[in-house]
Amino acid sequence: MRILLAEDDVITRRLLEAQLKKWGHEVVPCSDGQQAWDQLNKDESPKLVILDWMMPVMDGLTVSKKIRELETRPYTYIILLTAKSRKEDIVEGLEAGADDYITKPFDPQELRVRIRAAIRIVQLQEDLLEALKTSEFRATHDSLTGLWNRYAILGILEKQLARSTRDGCEISVIMADVDHFKKVNDNYGHLAGDEVLRQAARRMKNLLRPYDDVGRYGGEEFILVLPGCNAESAVNIAERIRLEFEKTPVVSSEGTFPVSLSFGVATTKGKDCSRTDDIIGLADDALYKAKESGRNRVVFAGELGSRT
């Protein structure tokens, strides 16, 4: 494990460093509190720190307090190194945010077990954060395409509409649907169908601006949320996605075949139209028209709130 070691006394620092390295740890040595603080503010800083209490420029207690003020995740585990062994001192050290303390001169065996306990906490914390990240991702993403799921994309749309109502900026929504998707599944099988959805997701993502969002609305239907995008630009984006499919067939393990998409586009200018249902309803109607009039086309529904 990477351990930050801040100790102004050269001999103690070298002794500790040698001991920690002997146990297989990587050591980031610092000779005062300020150096330690600077190290801790870098990316990927050590999550286990050993701080001497008495140090020039900034003492270990101050560094501890500053670390705790940050409230960052993952947690930084602090062991205070001190020549002070009175109960009051130890209480003060722990109150400043240290998790544990070691009195100097240090006993290698004691140091070893305390480091071991610290590593258990740090690793447990890392595992928990990892699990949390995975479950957050699963709760908001579609497992097949990796896009936002319906719940998440509707949440994004709602937030963007609230912003648009406040700022009066435009926002466009594109509903996209794979034409004759059932036929793909019937003719080439479900694996090919899955591949169509994955490729649709990839192609749409590639053609969007970085601040646009796309989600799988359900089945073979997608929804694109384009903040600050007027009707003309939204129609252009839909058209570009449509053309991309027109010129590039889908390659799957079950064969190569053409796929087309139909699109419904709606735009709003905020004010009286902050409801997700309204703009989705409008885009959905346009998508229906695109399907009715022969598929493989983009239909613009009109602007919500253009009267205001």
The residues assigned a catalytic role are 220
Instruction: Please state, in angstroms and as integers, the Cα–Cα distance from residue 37 to each residue in 6, 13, 67, 118, following that order.
Output: 10, 17, 8, 20
The answer to the question of residue 212 lying near Mg ion (CB under 5 A) is no
The answer to the question of residue 102 lying near Mg ion (CB under 5 A) is no
Residue of this chain nearest to Mg ion (CB atom):
54
How far is residue 203's CA from residue 147's CA, in Å, rounded to a whole number? 12
* 173: β partners: 225, 266
Q: How far is the CB of 148 from Mg ion (least distance, A)?
A: 52
What residues from 151 to 180 belong to the interface with Mg ion (CB under 5 A)?
none
Q: How far is the CB of 55 from Mg ion (least distance, A)?
A: 5
What residues from 38 to 67 belong to the interface with Mg ion (CB under 5 A)?
52, 54
- Give 8 or 170: the residue with its C-beta nearer to Mg ion: 8
Count of residues interacting with Mg ion (CB under 5 A): 3
| CA-based R_g, the chain, Å | 29
**Sequence-ordered list of residues with C-beta below 8 angstroms from that of 219, at least 6 positions apart, any chain:** 181
Q: How far is the CB of 8 from Mg ion (least distance, A)?
A: 4
The answer to the question of residue 90 lying near Mg ion (CB under 5 A) is no
Which amino acid, residue 134? T
How far is residue 23's CA from residue 29's CA, in Å, rounded to a whole number? 16
The residue to which tokens 């305390």 are assigned: 114
- Give 58 or 94: the residue with its C-beta nearer to Mg ion: 58
What residues from 103 to 142 belong to the interface with Mg ion (CB under 5 A)?
none
Among 3, 8, 118, 195, binds Mg ion (CB under 5 A): 8
230 contacts 208 by C-beta, under 8 angstroms: no
Residues that bind Mg ion (CB under 5 A): 8, 52, 54
